[in-house]
Structure 1
Amino acid sequence: MQELDKVIESEREVLGNIIKDNSLLLKAIDALKEDDFYSGPHQLLYKTMKELYKQDNNFDAVILLNKLKDKIKENLITVTEISNISLCGIKSTFKSHLEAVIESSRQRKISKLMQNVANSEKSSEDKINYIQDELIKMNVETEEDKILTTKDLMRMAADKVQEAYETKGGITGVPTGINILDNATNGLERQDMIVLAARPSIGKTAIVLKILENIQGNALLVQLDMGLKAIGCRMLATDTNMENGRISRGRLDDDEWIEFTKSLNRLAQKDNLFFYSPSSATIGKIRTKAKQLKIKHGLDVIILDHIGKLKPEIKGSKYEQASDNSNKIKQVARELEVAFVALSQLSRAVEQRPDKHPILADLRDSGSIEEDADTIGMLYREGYYTAREKGERIRSDTLEVSFQKVRNGRLGTVKFHYDLETQKLLPLNE
């Protein structure tokens, strides 16, 4: 699809959403002007919607057709255009398409501005002043940029309470489908940075796969620590209750191959999960990929495995680089309105204590993660250390997730039965 086609499609999606849900016009009206639309008919339709809404009139496709009948006669817009637009619009992608329309408009205005400056005979100082003035005019405030009144704030708070009231169990974040996790965290809250931290081999990836198995939303797993083939095999092991090692080596009997094939087809039908595994990545690269995905499919959750594998975007000490990455993860969560789950690998300092339960202080070598995160869960397995001390191999264990920082939930520990051979997690205290 060409760039212009994408812009036209985003414009149609925005308008279609507003026709289906007139209240969405409130989200667009402060940020979007008529001339932000590339298409003339789209400009006319948006202007008409605003006029009707300001008169406290609800509208649908039929009302718009009637309101625009004179314009239709003048061939400024057609019945087919209005009818087709009314069929567009997926509410979960409204904000992404709105941002795409605004971004495209700004790009066009900047190009025109630069062309005007290039053709102008003004002095360099006058040109600079002209550019600055035009850029200020162009800097349309978004919801995030605006200074809010108390009325605005109360409206936002009321929306959040209403959302909690209408949601079973009062979960306002993206439900993980795991009751003990949702009860502890209130779901994965959009715009939040959630950190799950542990030593290697404790169970970080296992809990991620458990979340992906049940997540009630679109999720992107950015895997920097393990190949995606290995992730696929672990998902199959969990789904089939077969040993992960045997699946990876293809050591299955006839009955197991049948169950394996069923599981393969079952998992292939999950269209809400997306996977990205570059050889190396910066948070900027992940942001770009996530933004593209959000516009195309909608996106609720990003999971990064793990934060220590991110390439730095600044020069400086390791602490400064880690802090910069942490700050930018938080920014991405807010900008894209997603829950950003970042796995973090703790240092060996944890293992030098008699009590090896990780604590918040163990994150202090990882930049500003402790300060930036909204929720922090520390993972621990007693059996991991016991087996290592005795030189034994264990097949199952109890995985504890201790939530030691929760802005939107409550502190506490949830426990899972962890089958190490199949990588399957089952809640213990649900």
Structure 2
Amino acid sequence: MDNLTKKELNKINVINDAEKNVLAIIAHSITAAEEVFSILTEEDFTVMNYKVIFKTLQEQFLAKLAINITTLSNYMLKNNVLSKIGGIEFLTDLFQTYTTDANLSEYLDIIIKNTTVRRLNAVLVNIHREIDSHQPIDEVVSKAEKEILDVKKERKGNLFKTSFDEVDKVLQKIELLENSGEMLTGSPSGFRDLDRMTSGFQKGDFIILAARPSMGKTALALNFAVKSAAQSKKAVAIFSVEMPAEQLIQRMIGSYSTVDSSKVRTGKGLQTRDWENITKAADFLKRTKLFIDDTPGLKVIELQSKLRKLCRENEVGLVVIDYLQLLSTGTHFGDSRQQEVSTISRQLKALARELEIPIICLSQLSRSVEKREDKRPIMSDLRDSGAIEQDADLIMFLFREEYYAAHDLNNSESPLETEKAQLILSKHRNGPTGNVELLFVKKHGSFADYGLQNAKF
């Protein structure tokens, strides 16, 4: 204490006075006590005596015991803590501090800010400790980001949301939607019938798009990404563990330009008209706020860190991850891949809630689909984990019957240039389930609303 500056001493005195005054107010006002106990804990107090008194007052309050200097001192004497705080004289001085409840909010603000500073300092100390112990730097950064965000969020999370406030918010939202004439309440998918059923992809939702290989789930996910970015003008993040960014952009250009994807891929057979369409598609894609991460072997902890940073710097409307089974936790689960996928699924759901953005995650299906006469996928076909079914807010299966018809004829390619596709909504936590009919344009590798064959990407 001798080495402290005058400014530091004054700050400590202000905090101590605030803690003392809050305790005095609790002891005199049942209404104030209810408010304080809903906001503070004993860990918010820096003086040990005040910690003990706060805990004792809280115990009396919860036991519905009358609070005054007599009951408090008797209670503390019975529990062998009165001597620890300096006896009855200390309590008498505390009770005499009380004058009014008027400054309670100010005192609470001082205590809460001090707690926030202390917790931030603790996070910084922990960061230095982990760096010194040579922990993987990406894990240190991700953990630090979460702990720093949690410092502020924890205080908000302690408070109930009242129906009075929340009902008003919902009514205001309904009124805004009515006046705007907009049917969407979430990020657009760009597909008419799907948006009608979902009202857009909703904030905080964890969405699964699953299909067997070669069904076109990556193509559909890219359609979602670009259409959403174009319509909402918000940033869209794409995490591609399977395919490099260059190939993704190549596929997007082929899809939007309506140039045969094989020509775009090889650069052969392109006509003047094709180049005009490719240039137009390229210009369109440059105007969208698409962010692509193609890190191979991406760990969930890395994804979390990158996405938090992106959300701090941009208004993100949608996230696409291709695909779930290629992510890893970086943690050893022995031979239990199912346990690891369950962990990844829970972490992605929590991340969607934390950042208040919809996350679409592509997923594989088990081979059991191929063994059935009816090849339409069901939720039990989700590969590796039943936890995916539990965590997801929306589960969509992509199904093309012509794909199986072609294979039944020992032909890997359907002779049709366009095929009817079904997007099967098997689970929808906040809305209806059912089928959405789409059109798959094979040579462009894109999807459109059924009946709109010439619709652009």
Shift of 1:356: 0.4
Shift of 1:289: 0.5
Contact 2:365 2:383 in 1 (8 A): no
In the alignment, which residue of structure 2 is the partner of 1:326?
Answer: 345
Q: How does 1:117-136 map to 2 (within 5 A)?
A: none
Question: What is the count of residue pairs matched by the alignment?
Answer: 309
Residue 404 (str. 1) matches residue 416 (str. 2): no
In the alignment, which residue of structure 1 is the partner of 2:163?
Answer: 150
Among 266, 269, 273, the residue aligned to 2:287: 269
Residue 361 (str. 1) matches residue 383 (str. 2): no
Among 257, 271, 274, the residue aligned to 1:253: 271
CA distance in 2, matches of 1:412, 1:267: 32
CA distance in 2, matches of 1:149, 1:240: 51
RMSD (Å), alpha carbons: 2.9
Shift of 1:177: 2.8
Contact 2:438 2:448 in 1 (8 A): yes
SS in 1 for 2:390: helix
In the alignment, which residue of structure 2 is the partner of 1:241?
Answer: 258
Amino acid at match of 1:239: Y
SS in 2 for 1:148: coil
Please identify runs of 4+ aligned residues in structure 1 that moved more than 3 A. Answer: 101-114, 138-145, 155-170
Shift of 1:151: 2.7
Shift of 1:380: 0.5
In the alignment, which residue of structure 1 is the partner of 2:21?
Answer: none
CA distance in 2, matches of 1:227, 1:210: 17
In the alignment, which residue of structure 2 is the partner of 1:198?
Answer: 211
CA distance in 2, matches of 1:321, 1:113: 30
Amino acid at match of 1:294: C
Amino acid at match of 1:246: K
Q: How does 1:1-400 map to 2 (within 5 A)?
A: 109-110=121-122, 141-162=154-175, 164-166=177-179, 168-215=181-228, 216=232, 217-251=234-268, 252-270=270-288, 272-316=289-333, 317-363=336-382, 365-392=384-411, 393-394=413-414, 395-400=417-422
Contact 1:160 1:172 in 2 (8 A): no
CA distance in 1, matches of 2:169, 2:267: 53
Amino acid at match of 2:317: D
Contact 2:204 2:354 in 1 (8 A): yes
- Residues 302/412 of structure 1: CA separation in 2 closer, same or farther (3 Å cut): same
Gaps of 5+ in 2: 1-37, 40-112, 127-147, 453-457
Amino acid at match of 2:287: Q
Among 421, 426, 429, the residue aligned to 2:443: 421
Q: Deviations over 1:22-56 (max 9, x none)?
A: xxxxxxxx99xxxxxxxxxxxxxxxxxxxxxxxxx
CA distance in 2, matches of 1:286, 1:323: 16
SS in 2 for 1:189: coil
Amino acid at match of 1:322: V
Contact 1:321 1:367 in 2 (8 A): no
Give the structure-2-normalised TM-score. 0.62
SS in 1 for 2:237: strand
In the alignment, which residue of structure 1 is the partner of 2:133?
Answer: none
- Residues 260/313 of structure 1: CA separation in 2 closer, same or farther (3 Å cut): same
CA distance in 1, matches of 2:282, 2:251: 12
CA distance in 1, matches of 2:252, 2:115: 38
Contact 1:220 1:302 in 2 (8 A): yes
Amino acid at match of 1:424: S
Amino acid at match of 2:359: F
Contact 2:258 2:277 in 1 (8 A): no
Shift of 1:107: 6.8
Shift of 1:354: 0.4
SS in 1 for 2:280: helix
Greater Cα offset, 159-168 or 191-200: 159-168
SS in 2 for 1:226: coil
Contact 1:300 1:337 in 2 (8 A): no
Give the structure-1-normalised TM-score. 0.66
In the alignment, which residue of structure 1 is the partner of 2:140?
Answer: none
Shift of 1:160: 4.7
CA distance in 2, matches of 1:222, 1:376: 19
CA distance in 2, matches of 1:427, 1:417: 6
- Residues 295/151 of structure 1: CA separation in 2 closer, same or farther (3 Å cut): same
SS in 2 for 1:300: strand
Contact 2:204 2:357 in 1 (8 A): yes
Contact 1:414 1:429 in 2 (8 A): no
CA distance in 1, matches of 2:341, 2:449: 33
CA distance in 1, matches of 2:153, 2:114: 9
Shift of 1:406: 0.7
CA distance in 2, matches of 1:410, 1:204: 22
CA distance in 2, matches of 1:258, 1:102: 62
Of structures 1 and 2, the one with the larger relative CO (CA 8 A, separation 6+) is 1
SS in 1 for 2:427: strand
Greater Cα offset, 143-152 or 359-368: 143-152
CA distance in 2, matches of 1:227, 1:197: 20
